[in-house]
Amino acid sequence: MSDVVKSDTTKQSLNRPWREAATLVIASKNDTPCISPRTATFDYRILLLQRDSQSRSFAGASVFPGGVVDPADFSPKWFQLFSRLGIWRGDDFGWSHMKGKPRAGPIAAQRDEGLLPNDVAFRICAIRETFEESGILLAVNEADVKYSISRMKNKQFVPSTSYCDSMNVRAYDNEWRRRVHDDAYQFLEMCMYLDVYPNIWSLFELSTVLTPPITSRRYDTIFYICSLEKEPYAEVDQKEMIDLQWLTPAEAIRKHCRHEIQLPMPQISECARLLDYRNISEIQGYAVGQMDQGMLAEVPAPIKLKDAFLRVLPGDDCYPGEVKYLQMEESEEENLKRCKNLNRYTYRSDGHFTLICNVTPLFGQRPPRDIDSRDWLDEAKL
């Protein structure tokens, strides 16, 4: 194994008032297309992991794989691995087409010179965390890397596989998972030992969400999506995650509405966005179309009404100039009479919620489909 020396330079660059994170939506082809609620046929399912009930954040919730970025994800030591491919500097990775595009959140942050580019480091973070939490390793060999870079530069979707499935490394990947969990620098060690490369080129940007300043633990999170041609073997780590499910977007929303699982707001948004994509090829087309559009961060603004609680997003008539906790002396009905442009979640005291978006997102992003949780409870309508 190589001697990977840790560096403190990345720690200084990550000293921010919130924690930066990366999350991965894995859409995997399902050989037997599922007839999901609301008569929608999906030929893919997405992976959701259930967090431990004692977790410090999102306790008990079902989330996409991902986690907080580590200094190891930015380490220039990664060039020891990528130099085998002739990649010696940031522009060699293939994301130079994004220069000058609107960037958001952690991708736009300035780093110390010499570190991996944000586009690379946050994808490494998402792949590393996915491996730790589920055992799915999105990695490729040298020949596949050249193929992946070529497809990305030609604005074509880059498919991926789980290395643990294709190379049958399951017998010892649990040991690597333990080591990577304890020390993120071990992910680079593992890749060098196996002579594989994190398939960063198969991850496409979806959105960026920053936790509003109403909690002590805030996250600036970028969401990626990738597609697999078959569902890989997956097993939770029984540390951060205690269970997993492969569900269609409609199944995930229905289970959340029926209180069978708990989805945080960003997970609901992405599932609602995917409701309009029945086939995995449609997801791939959308992801490719987004790859050079850019994006801006969404910061939900919490607003307390007399009879409901809102989380409004940019474009909503109620979205404030400064995001902070607001309280309005009006009912939901009164609020809706004066607000015509809506991009919001509404939570009611009876446990029901609605998601409404009638505004056009910037940069060609697909708006989430409107959801009324009561519609998803009636079996006769499903």
Cα torsion through 126, 131, 133, 136, rounded to 10: 110
Last residue of a domain, one of 261, 290, 319: 290
Q: What is the pTM of this model?
A: 0.90
> To which residue do tokens 């997102």 refer?
361
Last residue of a domain, one of 245, 267, 290: 290
Tokens of 352: 């029901």
Are 143 and 175 members of one domain? yes
Are 191 and 311 members of one domain? no
Are 93 and 170 members of one domain? yes
pLDDT digits (tens, 9 = 90+) for 23-70: 999 999 987 766 655 556 899 999 999 998 888 888 899 999 999 999
> What are the C-alpha distances in Å from 203 to residues 25, 185, 274, 345?
9, 21, 16, 28
Positive or negative torsion for Cα 75, 77, 82, 88? positive
| Residue 179 within any structural domain of the chain | yes
Are 269 and 330 members of one domain? no
Are 209 and 320 members of one domain? no
Last residue of a domain, one of 290, 310, 338: 290
Burial of 323 (0-12, 13-18, 19+ CB in 10 A): middle
What one-letter code names the amino acid at 179? R
Burial of 350 (0-12, 13-18, 19+ CB in 10 A): exposed
| Residue 167 within any structural domain of the chain | yes
Domain of residue 345, residue span: 301-364
pLDDT by residue for the chain (382 residues), tens only, comes to 334 434 333 443 345 678 999 999 999 998 776 665 555 689 999 999 999 888 888 889 999 999 999 999 999 999 999 999 888 887 778 776 566 666 777 777 778 888 999 999 999 999 999 999 999 999 988 888 877 777 777 777 776 766 655 554 554 578 899 999 999 999 999 999 999 999 998 898 899 999 988 877 889 999 999 999 889 889 998 888 999 999 999 999 999 999 999 999 999 999 999 999 999 999 988 888 877 777 778 899 999 999 999 999 999 999 999 999 999 999 999 999 999 999 999 999 888 999 999 998 877 788 999 999 999 987 544 4
Are 30 and 151 members of one domain? yes
Number of structural domains the chain divides into: 2
Q: Would you call 272 helix, strand, or coil by DSSP?
A: helix
Are 308 and 265 members of one domain? no
| Residue 372 within any structural domain of the chain | no
Are 96 and 195 members of one domain? yes
Q: What CATH number should be reported for the domain holding residue 142? A: 3.90.79.10
pLDDT digits (tens, 9 = 90+) for 330-368: 999 999 999 999 999 999 988 899 999 999 887 778 899
| Residue 215 within any structural domain of the chain | yes
DSSP 8-state class, residue 239: S
Are 211 and 356 members of one domain? no
| Residue 87 within any structural domain of the chain | yes
Are 272 and 321 members of one domain? no
Tokens of 175: 């040991």
| Residue 63 within any structural domain of the chain | yes
Are 247 and 131 members of one domain? yes
What one-letter code names the amino acid at 78? W
Are 142 and 252 members of one domain? yes
What one-letter code names the amino acid at 303? I
DSSP labels for 138-184?
A: -EE-HHHHHHHHHHHHTT----B--HHHHTT-HHHHHHHHHHHHH-T
| Residue 379 within any structural domain of the chain | no
Cα torsion through 247, 250, 252, 256, rounded to 10: -160
For residues 306 and 331, the answer to whether their CB atoms sit within 8 Å is: yes
Up-side HSE of residue 347: CA atoms within 13 Å toward CB? 11
| Residue 1 within any structural domain of the chain | no
Cα torsion through 354, 358, 364, 367, rounded to 10: 20
